[in-house]
Amino acid sequence: MKNFISTRLAIILFACIMGFFGANHFLHAKEMASIVPTFLPAPIVMVYISGAGFLLAAIAFIIDRYAKLAGYLLAALLLIIVFTMDVPGIIHAAALNTKMMYITNLLKDSGLAMAAIVIADISRERKW
What pLDDT sits at residue 101? 96
Mean pLDDT, residues 7-12: 94
d(CA 128, CA 122): 14
77-112 tens-digit pLDDT: 999 999 999 999 999 999 999 999 999 999 999 999
User: Please, are residues 3 and 122 in contact by the beta-carbon 8 Å criterion?
Assistant: no
Residue 41 DSSP class: S
The phi and psi torsions of 3 (rounded to 5 degrees) equal -90, 105
User: Please, are residues 68 and 46 in contact by the beta-carbon 8 Å criterion?
Assistant: no
d(CA 5, CA 70): 21
Residue in 47, 48, 60 with CA at minimum distance from that of residue 18: 60
**Distance between terminal CA atoms of the chain?**
14
Pick 123 or 52 by higher pLDDT.
Answer: 52
